[in-house]
Structure 1
């Protein structure tokens, strides 16, 4: 049927099928800014304006909008002329990874069209249909309010990053830095029409949170021009104009579509499989089963060098080990034909007993998840143990024997789906050089290339992995998912092949952060001094050994936050018949800190001590030696001194903002009880780490620089930080740095890097490469000016020496190329460095309804020891996003399985991430501490706000209702059961 539509002001006559979704029509017309994060209209990424009203295009039929006016984000503005709303998103750092930004902008635009003076409540309500996983909604809300003021013609203040003056009295300093993210304090002036919005980025020094007799001046910072500024995100303009190109946005000619047949059983042996009917279906190009592919064991995750290989996966296998495991793969001319072909594949299964809980995995007589002989490196296949970790110092049993008190508790952290907004997709094809191109939203391009070369029997030089921008991967895309199958299909058909998961498939088949059971045991003196501590972890890795603990590349354990003479960390990573475990942002320590910090409050309660006093008495301090490093991790025993720790200032900031002394233990006796809680966290790697990264920089004729380094953008803003680092060293603006990080044929090799190590390793290697080419530039300039290079400096892109002596970088580049016959360029690498320790404190106020078990989070306060922050504004956005994710995991997100191991979560409605209207008051603070790292004293921040939210809530619930909740999430049902049990004990 033919429709007439007006799309972004252009009238078009289009032919559509009666059942074609509107989003499909828009993609056919080239509007890839309309993102698809689900198929149910719940996430809002696909929002378009239909006659000015926001609508989810994934659940609307194209036939429904005949004669309507449609608007996508391209209608707002372009990079040369941005709409005030788009400009505000850039200025405020509100874009995040950018996946949800287009839909959020359109929802906000519709609001401003009907309400020129919205309140914060109005903005949050307008954005309530747009899920965001990496901004916490704070900056988007502030950006909409700022844009509203601009559109009303009001004068707004410039957004300047504010470092608090060290000579203010302590009380004035804390008032000055109190940036209440998303609160009325920041937005009331806009709502009332005064037009004054100032984002005060809260950077504080440890001295600021104390009460000295005289003002204390912190050590002066170097004279930095770019580092420490609130520079715009590298991807911001692309995000707000819909120009970002993701994995599935490139669609070559003759592209075919792959679909995977998955197992309906948690554990079964395939006795027969017949794909003849599927292969005979018109439009089907190929069908592959385990009979058609080589049986080569591999690991889907990258492992540290020097570790024994743990290879337990196969492209396709005759044994299926979880509901959703791969059975066969089909490629066809269309998605519809591929789906039809899946239904024609006949499979006879012999169902085997399944292991559906990691405690069952260790029981004598339990089914063996991996009984095959081909797999390698499994610690104990008979007992379903993929890997063991043991880290011990001192004599733990003797420590417990000599203690006055020994306290034991157990905690459960359930499985959750990471659920990034962008669904998994991979495109494979042969390019003009007959090289295999793999375009995928991954963080492991070099490892994927290496593994595919082995699985496909192709030379490494014939494989190129492209890293497009990634839509908020949340650390999940650090494994091989379907790249092997897609590549096999391209080799068989010689056609481009696209494999893309639906949202339901993401929940059912994709890697899930699986369940943990943690047992804490602590021995103490009567005065609270720790004598012995032990953490035992039973970690569910699912069907394959993808759990982070199967790799000992990083030895950091939460237990080390409270050092004592006798310590033991034990972990067994166990196979079950669940989907493989996933990685997460930064280090995977959320479960450990939930157990540790909840346990510390329970200890304090039993000893009748103040919970903060107990922590202060025992925590890791500057000058302490890291207590556990010598037991695991690096190639040799290392005893490392903690040189920088801003934990005291972090906790003091949270303590003051929570009004700890005034409000702790004042729960009251009404139906609605208020409580406050606090938790601490840290991460880093105090010994040698095994990661490697590289960088290449070359100077162009116009004075700009091409920088090849880093990884794809995924919401962590690493590209922005790398650009700032290079610009600072080279004395140029960020626009002069052209960063390329999307292709294994150009980007240098990376290995064993997560989001934290990437910050340090990529940052340091870029700094080193920039210093090297800076020296080259000054040497050429010195010859041109006949002066010593040491007398010259670069500032604002100009090389200056004695008065009247100056050259542009363009002049130096031209001279080097055409007069000296050389290209100014350099390369560098970085490996095996210490990862500085980042510390954080988080406090929570909760309201508990003791009659229903309902819980409301009133406020969350986060203080992070950030060293000298590279970009405080973007770090604030990052912190808010991590806190929001932690809130969802603490309150509502949980994976459920039926008795046969099938997932009961099919989409966002069952997972329920926090929306803009459900957010509490967020208060975020950056504590500036002195650190001797070469990276301008900066520390990584990404991921650490995930750790303290859950235990802080648990501790606040304990304060409010006197009940212990030792299992996440804190649902009303769990709270109500605990309340009833408490009341039964009180009445007995």
Structure 2
């Protein structure tokens, strides 16, 4: 397709900009229905206990209470809140380990019961009236301890003590030979914290059951179609009788609702069925923190063999992640950690072993980067250690070993494009890498440093997960078009970029495109917004649908103009012959002519997406106060190979948002637990998110190494912004004070303690 695009690559005003700026956009928390009740959830105060007795009679007798749900009157069908249960294909099996409510609770915050009442106040009063007798059970909070024989078993597991799913093993070459050929072998273990997505809108759902049994659920899900399947399975309904939709927007996601929104949807639906009225369930911020998925914490060990000249000969990675009380995405996340950790550098001999482990903590699931930030903090921290030991510049050892197109690697798809070296060059220039180690020290207490790290990611969900996309493009009678795609827009500009692609293919103005999205009743199956796949995979489906519609239009117009379809093109809505431009006609004229003769042009895109590696190089400049331990990032540079920037401003926004989240991961964000399994950081007032005052100068650099598999050459970009951020910051801190940290976040306390211990 031509490269002189008229719509793609342009900073068109986002379709949702005005209504969001005016406060007119609708979210799940805004939904109000006639007769709607309000649901509230009773949560466990204990990390592990059996419910011996539960008495709801007093709550049911409270005026205004319409239903009380427990494990005694809700479906006994096991499920997984994550979308993985809807597309894992044999021989792999999804791990389904939850009920809507169970007789055993496994973490502080686990669901015990729920109430639907005429007001939130009445529902909260009713929770106080539910009497529960618990039998306390043994607990375990650390994944290493949970694998020991004496640890309590949280679920039945085939792969090992408290190991959900299967252990992941990835191997290429001969790992023992690789280490034997090395001049030096380095091995280090890194510890990772629990990070929270902290999205603006909490988990929420509104469920309505019609008189004919049809179910409608408005929710904050990132995956309406897979969520429909989960709900239909739990409640024994035909998929065709369950409608799931966003209303239409989501207030952020970052992976926390790929599948169900924690349990908001099944709880709302269970209450609606019992009460026979619509029910709205909205988590408060504390519930969102303690009872919806987090990023996986855990341990990553990296062992690398290297020649004296810096050539990597062998790399072995081991990842042990904390699943929390239920599986969610814990069977898949360790695999991404290992695959990404092994694929950024070329190394002929590689191995990864990893898995998750159940503990009595909040379930961990998907969060932006999906295991990759954990792995790259370890891998690229160690690369800096190796460079120093060999007396090499960290930039040069990376340049010597980076993965390049055509080389073999562990991933099941080829590397066909890479702009990584250009990213490194442009990023180094922007941060003034040549000044590393020469920074002016204005005082005895403030030390400055520069660090870097690199990374890669995916542009699509894993290739063996049954991932596919569909889209419709319908030409209206006036020549405008309507796009239908099942993906949500959670603030990422999805509907804008998909509309840009459709407009470009159809040769019409952007303003002539309408889009229907995130509704299972009006869109074909789409696996959803996650895995940095929306622009790449869903965009491929939209492009295919638009090409199909364009082909139909040209075939019809060719008869009208008495030319061949192959010589037609279209610009600004005018179809013309490339051989004789005197022969032309508007798309609207063709569409109306076809309409009057009983035909409409409906393009269908049915695709199984491939995958393309986006690449990135991050550079950090920091100041460390040696009297307080305070680390301040003064500048971050992020150079990213995005394939093709469909909407450059949206791309820059994604990168800057990812950097901010990565800065929090590196320096301040962490959920800790006390010895009774209670979350100590359970809201914004206790969880140290970076604020506007903490965000440094950010420079996003777009590199376009177009990939042949992506729409217009595009790659995924949604998650890449924080893949290497923590490693770059930790390397900069080492450059500043000469102390290597093997655990993040680099809080003032942790850095101060290390400084004092060194003295």
Give the alignment's TM-score, normalised by structure 1.
Answer: 0.73
Q: Map residues 158-177 of structure 1 onto 2, 5 A cutoff.
A: none
* Corresponding pairs, count: 746
Q: Which residue of 1 aligns with 2:110?
A: 325
Q: Which moved more, 1:699-708 or 1:267-276?
A: 699-708
CA distance in 2, matches of 1:734, 1:904: 49
Q: 3-state SS of the aligned residue for 2:542?
A: helix
**CA 1:381–1:291: 2 relative to 1, 3 Å:** farther
Q: 3-state SS of the aligned residue for 1:511?
A: coil
**Residue 81 of structure 2 is aligned to residue 305 of structure 1:** no
Q: Out of 106, 124, 128, which is 1:343 matched to?
A: 128
Q: 3-state SS of the aligned residue for 1:732?
A: coil
Q: Which residue of 2 aligns with 1:782?
A: 558
CA contact (8 A) 1:798 1:806 kept: yes
Give the deviation of 1:401 after TM superposition: 3.5
Q: Out of 462, 468, 474, which is 2:254 matched to?
A: 474
Give the deviation of 1:776 after TM superposition: 1.1
CA contact (8 A) 2:39 2:281 kept: yes
Give the deviation of 1:515 after TM superposition: 1.0
Give the deviation of 1:752 after TM superposition: 7.2
Q: Which residue of 1 aligns with 2:458?
A: 684
Q: Map residues 531-570 of structure 1 onto 2, 5 A cutoff.
A: 531-550=313-332, 556-570=339-353
Q: Which residue of 2 aligns with 1:826?
A: 603
Q: Which residue of 2 aligns with 1:841?
A: 617
Q: Map residues 374-523 of structure 1 onto 2, 5 A cutoff.
A: 378-380=157-159, 382-431=161-210, 434-467=213-246, 468-480=248-260, 481-523=263-305
1:674-725 deviation digits (Å, cap 9, x = unpaired): 1100000111279845311101111112221111114111122222111110
Give the deviation of 1:289 after TM superposition: 1.2
Q: 3-state SS of the aligned residue for 2:457?
A: strand
Q: Map residues 110-189 of structure 1 onto 2, 5 A cutoff.
A: none
Q: Out of 135, 138, 152, which is 1:367 matched to?
A: 152
CA distance in 1, matches of 2:618, 2:334: 28
Q: 3-state SS of the aligned residue for 1:857?
A: strand
Q: Which moved more, 1:301-310 or 1:737-746?
A: 301-310
CA distance in 1, matches of 2:523, 2:614: 28
CA distance in 2, matches of 1:797, 1:847: 55
Q: Out of 48, 55, 60, which is 1:279 matched to?
A: 60
Q: Which residue of 1 aligns with 2:371?
A: 588
Q: Which moved more, 1:473-482 or 1:252-261?
A: 473-482
Give the alignment's TM-score, normalised by structure 2.
Answer: 0.95
CA contact (8 A) 2:163 2:355 kept: no
**CA 1:938–1:410: 2 relative to 1, 3 Å:** same
Give the deviation of 1:751 after TM superposition: 2.9
CA distance in 2, matches of 1:482, 1:692: 26
Q: Which residue of 2 aligns with 1:250?
A: 31
CA distance in 1, matches of 2:170, 2:440: 40
**Residue 755 of structure 2 is aligned to residue 979 of structure 1:** yes
CA distance in 1, matches of 2:97, 2:440: 52
1:572-609 deviation digits (Å, cap 9, x = unpaired): 21001111112123543111111111111111122222
Q: Map residues 219-230 of structure 1 onto 2, 5 A cutoff.
A: 222-230=3-11
Note the residue ranges of structure 2 that are not aligned, 5 or more in a row: none
Q: 3-state SS of the aligned residue for 1:756?
A: coil
Q: Which residue of 2 aligns with 1:811?
A: 589
Q: Which moved more, 1:424-433 or 1:276-285?
A: 424-433
Q: Which residue of 1 aligns with 2:418?
A: 645
Q: Map residues 744-783 of structure 1 onto 2, 5 A cutoff.
A: 744-751=520-527, 754-783=530-559
1:226-245 deviation digits (Å, cap 9, x = unpaired): 11111121211221122211
**Residue 678 of structure 2 is aligned to residue 898 of structure 1:** no
**Residue 15 of structure 2 is aligned to residue 234 of structure 1:** yes
1:609-633 deviation digits (Å, cap 9, x = unpaired): 21111111111112212x213xxxx
Q: 3-state SS of the aligned residue for 1:643?
A: coil
Give the deviation of 1:552 after TM superposition: 8.5
Return the index of the structure with the highest Cα Rg: 1
Q: Which residue of 2 aligns with 1:603?
A: 386
CA distance in 1, matches of 2:648, 2:34: 44
Give the deviation of 1:398 after TM superposition: 3.5
**CA 1:285–1:930: 2 relative to 1, 3 Å:** closer
Q: 3-state SS of the aligned residue for 1:959?
A: helix
CA contact (8 A) 1:517 1:537 kept: yes
CA RMSD of aligned residues (A): 2.0
**CA 1:361–1:798: 2 relative to 1, 3 Å:** same
**CA 1:685–1:441: 2 relative to 1, 3 Å:** closer
CA distance in 2, matches of 1:751, 1:663: 45
Q: 3-state SS of the aligned residue for 2:102?
A: coil
CA distance in 2, matches of 1:641, 1:465: 36
Q: Out of 69, 75, 79, which is 1:294 matched to?
A: 75
Q: 3-state SS of the aligned residue for 1:535?
A: strand
CA distance in 2, matches of 1:933, 1:380: 36
1:836-856 deviation digits (Å, cap 9, x = unpaired): 111000101101111211111
**Residue 513 of structure 2 is aligned to residue 743 of structure 1:** no
1:384-430 deviation digits (Å, cap 9, x = unpaired): 45431111122323332442211111111100111101111100013
Q: Which residue of 1 aligns with 2:403?
A: 620
CA distance in 2, matches of 1:583, 1:297: 20
**CA 1:587–1:733: 2 relative to 1, 3 Å:** farther
Give the deviation of 1:431 after TM superposition: 4.2
Q: 3-state SS of the aligned residue for 1:490?
A: helix
